[in-house]
Every structure is written in structure tokens, then in C-alpha cells.
Amino acid sequence: MSVFEKRYDAVIVGGRVAGASTALMLARAGCKVLLVDRQLYGSDRLSTHALMRGAVSMLAEWGVLPALMAEGTPAVRQTSFIYEGDRTTFDIQPDSRTDCLVAPRRTVLDRHLVDAARRAGAEIRHATMLQDLVFDRSGRVIGCVIDNGDGTRQTVGAGIVIGADGRQSSVARLAGARIYREGKAASGAVYGYFEGLPDNGFEWYFADGFTAGAIPTNHGQHCILATLPAHRFAEVFRGDIRAGFERICAANSPALAEAVAGARLCERLKGFGGQPGYFRQSFGKGWALVGDAGYFKDPATAHGITDAFRDAFLLAQAIGGAPGGLAGYQTLRDELSNDLFEITEEIAAFNWDMADLQTLHLRLSKAMRAESEAIDSLLGVSRLAA
């Protein structure tokens, strides 16, 4: 008799951008999917959530973009880089799927992804936590133990257990997944949501040792972001986080600092002390990792969500029978990530002057274009049913 109370083709741990998008694609392909997340439906996540073109293309492809726009997510039609006060603005060029970028709050984005996965047939359980993996005698993962959050536990069978459970991934720990490439650089960040700022699209500010960003998002608010090398986080923010935040805004642009001072802070400021990037072994017998669980880079290039969507797509393809299987998934992920990882490392190191930084941004733009083209071509060769 089976030890399992229920069986699924895939159990996905983590119901955010990586987990919910993987669930959506697998469920649409006809897999029986269980998605669990220990947090609540519609809760927030530490992120400034600016989406690059590849992410917006995938949201359009999955049919999730219209729901985000209907919930008041502003269309971003230009992006500006401001180097010590010197501004260059680019218009967002339309393509076949979208004519804008977006930065939906995670309370909005993650909820709509989960809703789409549920509509596609995935079973979704929040306030539910992975406790353990179940292995057979050969070492293959064949299921997992979940804590239902009401004092009960359940042991379920799974064709594959997927860890989409972020940087502190429990699936990675329980499966013994090792990190095989690590970055050195890390930036720290403090950000907050402000009401009453003009919408100028994405604005990225750069000064000596500090950067800042203005990101229009839902509810008529802007996410204002102040960053610095992680090793300076404690010194600049100790004692008075708001004063440190204002100091970084002012160092980047007195006009930004003045606008922020006149705007209403809608929630308390949030902080991230920084963590170097890594690539982690992302597959084994009966398990896989996706999103930050398998590959993380510093937020300096605002690319984690875009890459999480891309890798969810690659993983779903591998599970659906793409050549190379799970090993091919990891190899392709790493190949597609290499340039951006290296550029992110250099930007997050803060070891640049404005001329160096502009060169890095040109390289970044090229790498992003290559990634966006790769995503377009991947979408064109989907092996999974729409």
C-alpha cells in the first residue's frame, strides 16, 4: 500500500514568481500540480519589482499582463539614466507583445500569477510549509512531507519536487544541492513607497558610491530605492534609516531628494543588507530548483524576476521532455545567465567611475537584448500545450 495520502506529477515549494509561473506552465501542459507556500495569499515580498522586457513578454504570453494593467499597474514608456545629474532618456520600443515595461507590486504580481496557475488547474495551498523530502532506497526524491499550518501534516507523492523557495531554499538544503559558482560583490538597499511623485517612467540615478531609483507602481505610488555597497549598510543606516535613505537620495540628485521629502511615505522603509550571487546545483533524481533557489544575482541590475520567469519556462520545457532533460535545463540557464551575472557583479562592486559605469550599462543593454531575443525564440518553440 502507498505511504502517500495523495500523488502529484509535481509538488512546487514556493508560490512566488518562479513557483507560480512554473505551476502555470506545468498545469497548462496537463500535469497534476500542488503548489505550497508558507506565506499568505497576496502577501508582500522584499523586492523593488521592476520588470525588464523578457518578463513583460512572458506575462503577455501567459495572458497575465491584462489583469495587471486592469489593477492600475502603470505602463512605463521611458527609462532614464542619470549620471551625476546628467540625464539620458530612452523610449521603450514596442514589440509584438507589448509597448511598455511595468513594475507591479508583489502583492499584485504574485497574486495574479497564482490565480492564473489555479485557473490552469494547479492546486494551491498557502500558509503551508515543506517539512521534509521523502527519498526511495536509490536516493530519488519521491514525495515530501508538508505542514498544513493547522497542526496537521501530510505526506504526498511527487514525480518531481521543485524548490522555488528562494535564497534560503529548504529543498536545496534537504536535497544537498551545492553552490558551484559564487560572486563576490553585494549591494545593500533601502526602499519605500511614496505617494505624490511625478511619473517619469523608470529613473536610475548614479553617483560616487551610491545609486537610487524611482519606479512607478500600483496605487499611484513610486517605489524609491537607495543603494550602496553592502559593507557600508550598517554605517549609513545605523540609528536612523530615514536619514541614511535621504542622504543617498540627495547624493544622487538634490531634485529627487526634494521631491521625496515633499511626498508621503505610505509604508515603513524596507531594507536588504546584501548577499553575493551564486549558481546552485539545480537538479537531481526527482527534484529541481528554479528562481532564486537555484540562481541569484545582486538586485543592482533589477533582473531576478525576469530570469525567474525564463528559468521557470526552461524547467517546464525540460519536464515536458525537451532534449537534455534537467541537466540541459541547468546548462542552458547558466549559458544564458553568464554575461548578465558578470556585469551585475561589476556594477554591484561599486568600483567604477561614471565613464566605466556607462560602458557597463552598454554591455548590460546588449546582454539584456540577447536575453530578450533568446526568450522570444524560446517562446516560439514551446513544447508544452498553451
| Shortest distance in whole angstroms from residue 302 CB to ligand FAD | 4
d(CA 313, CA 22): 7
Of the candidates 257, 241, 251, 245, the residue with the CA atom closest to the CA atom of residue 208 = 251
| Shortest distance in whole angstroms from residue 169 CB to ligand FAD | 7
Cα dist. 199→38, 217, 221, 301, 308 in Å? 35, 10, 9, 21, 27
Beta bridge partners of 289: 163
CB 345 within 8 Å of CB 298: yes
Give me the phi and psi of 144, to 5 degrees please: -160, 165
Q: Is 216 helix (H, G, I), strand (E, B) or coil?
A: strand
| Position 104 contacts ligand FAD (CB under 6 A) | no
| Position 304 contacts ligand FAD (CB under 6 A) | yes
| Position 45 contacts ligand FAD (CB under 6 A) | yes
Q: Which lies closer to ligand FAD via its Cβ, residue 79 or residue 306?
A: 306
| Position 40 contacts ligand FAD (CB under 6 A) | no
Q: Stretches 246-254, 259-267, 278-286, 292-300: which one binds ligand FAD (CB under 6 A)? A: 292-300
| Position 292 contacts ligand FAD (CB under 6 A) | yes
Which of 8, 10, 11, 14 touches ligand FAD by CB under 6 A? 14
| Position 19 contacts ligand FAD (CB under 6 A) | yes
d(CA 342, CA 352): 14
CB 41 within 8 Å of CB 191: no
Q: Stretches 41-49, 61-69, 239-247, 347-355: which one binds ligand FAD (CB under 6 A)? A: 41-49
| Shortest distance in whole angstroms from residue 146 CB to ligand FAD | 8
| Position 311 contacts ligand FAD (CB under 6 A) | no
| Position 291 contacts ligand FAD (CB under 6 A) | yes
| Position 16 contacts ligand FAD (CB under 6 A) | yes
| Position 315 contacts ligand FAD (CB under 6 A) | no
Give me the phi and psi of 177, to 5 degrees please: -70, 130
Which of 282, 306, 330, 344 touches ligand FAD by CB under 6 A? 306
| Shortest distance in whole angstroms from residue 307 CB to ligand FAD | 7
Q: Which lies closer to ligand FAD via its Cβ, residue 104 or residue 286?
A: 104
Number of residues that bind ligand FAD (CB under 6 A): 34
Q: Show the cell assigned to 10.
A: 509535481
Which of 8, 10, 38, 367 touches ligand FAD by CB under 6 A? 38
DSSP letter string, 270-316: EEE-----EEE--EETTEEE-GGGTEE--GGG--HHHHHHHHHHHHH
| Position 318 contacts ligand FAD (CB under 6 A) | no
| Position 17 contacts ligand FAD (CB under 6 A) | yes
DSSP letter string, 15-35: -SHHHHHHHHHHHHTT--EEE
Residue 151: DSSP 8-state: S
CA angle 228, 189, 80 (to 5 degrees): 80
Q: Which lies closer to ligand FAD via its Cβ, residue 112 or residue 303?
A: 303
DSSP letter string, 32-90: -EEEEESS-TT---S------HHHHHHHHHHT-HHHHHHTTPPPB-EEEEEETTEEEEE
Q: Stretches 44-52, 232-240, 313-321, 357-365: which one binds ligand FAD (CB under 6 A)? A: 44-52
> Which residue is associated with the grid cell 517612467?
201
Which of 8, 272, 287, 329 touches ligand FAD by CB under 6 A? 272
| Position 50 contacts ligand FAD (CB under 6 A) | yes
| Position 165 contacts ligand FAD (CB under 6 A) | yes
| Position 216 contacts ligand FAD (CB under 6 A) | no
Footprint on this chain of ligand FAD (rule: CB under 6 A) = 13-14, 16-19, 36-39, 45-50, 129-130, 164-166, 170, 189, 272, 291-293, 299, 302-306, 308
